[in-house]
């Protein structure tokens, strides 16, 4: 079963726009339930039926075939072989959709189709009763709303942009009427699910709404993959003090500059993947990350005392390079499961000239297995390090598990995911180093 995200809310709240954007960004399947009901409403209107009359609508259902298809990356609605994607977006069809959606047999007609899609895919579905009726077990539920005036303005701007001759007051009246119809119908009325997150988008931008829901989905993915734990507060407090002391010390020795710290997570159980330049790289990354990290280190380092003691003290563990070290991969997964971050250098060895190398498959495998985001880190400095050398450490935006597109255990998938991670790291490294 895939991860399901249900987005409910009144007409014009922006559900479809947000759902489409999220689905494209995360690689989820977008199920536009509103389009399904609009299609039935459109067919009814085209055949002269009263959309409020169950007696007139029911005989038409056996004549209707609705499909959702992607054409050139855009979802299209196919009604009985005809693309009606644009024809179903008028105020008249909006009202017709509201009317037919109140008919129990219409809802039953579409229910099995929607649940079958959700059972087989990671999906984002928007509508009015997704979290309460269609997908009551959805891992993420959001109830999006906005003032009636704001929703009317959005719909007015949308229709005007398409060249339609519309009047704002008419749209506002239709919005208010549809709100009343949807919330007072006997079958599956519009309401917020008890476990849904309410999101008022009146003063929010599209990007802000997308970011908010994306965080909810990311958290749900983490819970679905492995039972993550939290590091005890006293250990995190001790680590914060130690991290501050080390930061002061390194700032005296080097001219440190950090960028992109706003991208860092405020929780543990993520992967931090950086280019490898010096022995100090793990420290350079760790002193700006709130949660404790664990590290993979080549097995040869554990043969020398007291180096092996120091590495283990900072939660380092050995890995055999140039081999599929199953024990190291399992240890990495366990560290993430127990609330630690994993700081890893995908190239597997230090770069003497600063050039970015190819990633080993380990980072992609762990990210896929644990379903956690990968935060790229770029470390830049010129020539060799000396006292007061300028070092720039940049933290990039996270690469979500679905962006890695690992659909199998094939080397091809891991190689492509590794290249994606390294390209994100390379984008953070100064071009002149």
Taking only the tens place, the pLDDT of each residue in 233-247 is 888 889 889 999 999
Strand partners, 142: 7, 197
Report yes or no: 270 and 341 within 8 Å, Cβ to Cβ: yes
Over residues 338-366, mean pLDDT = 85
Model confidence at 407, pLDDT cuts 50, 70, 90, reads low
Look at residue 253 and tell me whether its pLDDT is greater than 90.
yes
Nearest to 354 by CA among 388, 378, 331: 378
pLDDT given for residue 40 in this prediction: 95
pLDDT given for residue 227 in this prediction: 60
3-state secondary structure 286-349: HCCCCCCEEEEEEHHHHHCCCHHHHHHHCCEEEECCCCCCHHHHHHHHHHHHCCCEEEECCCCC
Domains of the chain: 4-225 (3.40.50.300), 233-426 (3.40.1130.10)
Is the pTM for the entire model greater than 0.75? no
């Amino acid at each position: 079963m895939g991860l399901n995200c249900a987005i409910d809310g009144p007409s014009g709240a922006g559900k479809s726009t947000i759902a489409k954007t999220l689905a494209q960004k995360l690689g989820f399947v977008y199920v536009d339930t509103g389009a399904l009901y609009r299609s039935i409403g459109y067919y009814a209107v085209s055949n002269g039926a009263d959309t409020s009359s169950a007696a007139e609508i029911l005989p038409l259902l056996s004549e209707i075939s609705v499909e959702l298809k992607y054409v050139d990356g855009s979802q299209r609605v196919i009604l009985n072989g005809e693309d009606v994607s644009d024809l179903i977006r008028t105020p008249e069809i909006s009202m017709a959709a509201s009317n037919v959606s109140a008919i129990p047999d219409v809802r039953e007609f579409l229910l099995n189709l929607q649940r079958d899609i959700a059972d087989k895919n990671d999906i984002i579905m928007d509508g009015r009763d997704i979290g309460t009726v269609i997908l009551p077990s959805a891992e993420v539920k959001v109830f999006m709303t906005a003032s009636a005036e704001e929703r009317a303005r959005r719909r007015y701007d949308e229709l005007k942009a398409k060249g339609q001759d519309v009047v704002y007051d008419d749209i506002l009246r239709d919005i208010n009427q549809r709100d009343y119809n949807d919330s007072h119908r006997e079958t599956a009325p519009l309401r917020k699910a008890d476990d849904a997150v309410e999101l008022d988008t009146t003063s929010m931008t599209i990007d802000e709404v997308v970011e908010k829901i994306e965080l909810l989905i990311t958290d749900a993915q983490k819970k679905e993959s492995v039972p993550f734990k939290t590091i005890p507060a006293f250990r995190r407090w001790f680590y914060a003090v130690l991290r501050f002391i080390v930061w002061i010390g390194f700032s005296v020795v080097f001219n440190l500059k950090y960028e992109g710290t706003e991208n860092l997570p405020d929780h543990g159980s993520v992967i931090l993947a950086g280019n490898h330049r010096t022995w100090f790289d793990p420290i350079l990354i760790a002193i700006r990350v709130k949660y404790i990290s664990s590290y993979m280190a080549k097995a040869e380092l554990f043969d020398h005392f007291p180096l092996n003691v120091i590495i283990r003290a900072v939660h380092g563990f050995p890995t055999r390079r140039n081999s599929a070290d199953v024990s190291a991969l399992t240890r990495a997964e366990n560290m993430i499961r127990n609330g630690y971050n994993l700081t890893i250098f995908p190239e597997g060895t230090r770069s003497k000239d600063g050039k970015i190398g190819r990633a080993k498959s380990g980072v992609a495998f762990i990210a896929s297995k644990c379903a956690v985001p990968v935060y790229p880190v770029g470390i830049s400095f010129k020539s060799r390090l000396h006292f007061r050398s300028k070092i720039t450490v940049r933290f990039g935006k996270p690469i979500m598990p679905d962006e890695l597109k690992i659909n199998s255990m094939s080397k091809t998938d891991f190689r492509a995911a590794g290249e994606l991670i390294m390209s994100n790291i390379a984008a953070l490294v100064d071009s002149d180093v």
